[in-house]
Structure 1
């Protein structure tokens, strides 16, 4: 990433600190203010990764913008075009250009599914209410929140 980011300066800032990307494990999110900046970064990332005998996965890499204008040119890695999406799942949350509604609906659906799976436990009179509450907090409420 140091090689790929060489010469790139953050155009976003949080608390006065420039931010160019976000990392979590093997996931990298690039923040760019415009198409030119994003194109330059993708080209540098593709070149830097090939220098280390690594490839950027075009199947996993996605582009999402919050601009009303579409990108004017395609972005490619490994001779494959990167897909432009309007929503994606990142670290268990749905990020969408529609705001937080899709993420909330997804969590509600997951919560309902987990409640349904635990129905035999809720109906079992041999399991203490305190145990049921602990299960509810750990297996259901944690997903919803």
Structure 2
């Protein structure tokens, strides 16, 4: 990653620090302020990966825009155009073009399902009208 990002200057800033990627084990989430920057980031990663005998899995690599406009250019890794999606899951959290809305809705649904399961088993000792 150090080699790949050597000539890449990111514009996404968090706490006055430029952030170009998030990494956990072999999962990488690239961050870019616009699609030209994203294309450059993917190109840098792709070129450097090949130098080390590693290939980016284009089938597993997805693009998502966190804006009202979609991508207008083709972004390629390992000779294949990368797919644009509305959302994907990264380390168990939903990343979406709508920001955190999908993640909040998913967590709320999980909570409601868990509470319904508890109510069905009778372990909560409460009913909709109050304690039993």
**Global fold match (TM > 0.5):** yes
TM-score by length of 1: 0.72
- Give the corresponding residue for 1:49: 49
3-state SS, counterpart of residue 29 of structure 1: strand
Structure 2: gaps of 5 or more residues: 125-132
3-state SS, counterpart of residue 109 of structure 1: helix
Task: Work out whether 1:68 is the aligned partner of 2:72.
Answer: no
Assess if the C-alpha contact under 8 Å between 2:10 and 2:20 holds in 1: yes
- Give the corresponding residue for 1:77: 77
Aligned 1:1-145 pairs, distance under 5 A:
1-115=1-115, 116=117, 120=121, 122=123
Greater shift in the superposed pair: 18-27 or 40-49: 18-27
Structure 1: gaps of 5 or more residues: 124-145
Cα pair distance change 1:122/1:10, threshold 3 Å: same
Counterparts of 2:105 and 2:26 in 1: how far apart (Å)?
A: 27
Cα pair distance change 1:93/1:118, threshold 3 Å: farther
RMSD of aligned residue pairs (Cα, Å): 2.4
TM-score by length of 2: 0.78
- Note the alpha carbon deviations across 1:97-137, whole angstroms, 9 max, x for none: 224332122123333444528965838xxxxxxxxxxxxxx
1:86 Cα deviation from its structure 2 partner: 1.3
Greater shift in the superposed pair: 25-34 or 105-114: 105-114
3-state SS, counterpart of residue 73 of structure 1: coil
Assess if the C-alpha contact under 8 Å between 2:8 and 2:44 holds in 1: no
3-state SS, counterpart of residue 122 of structure 1: coil
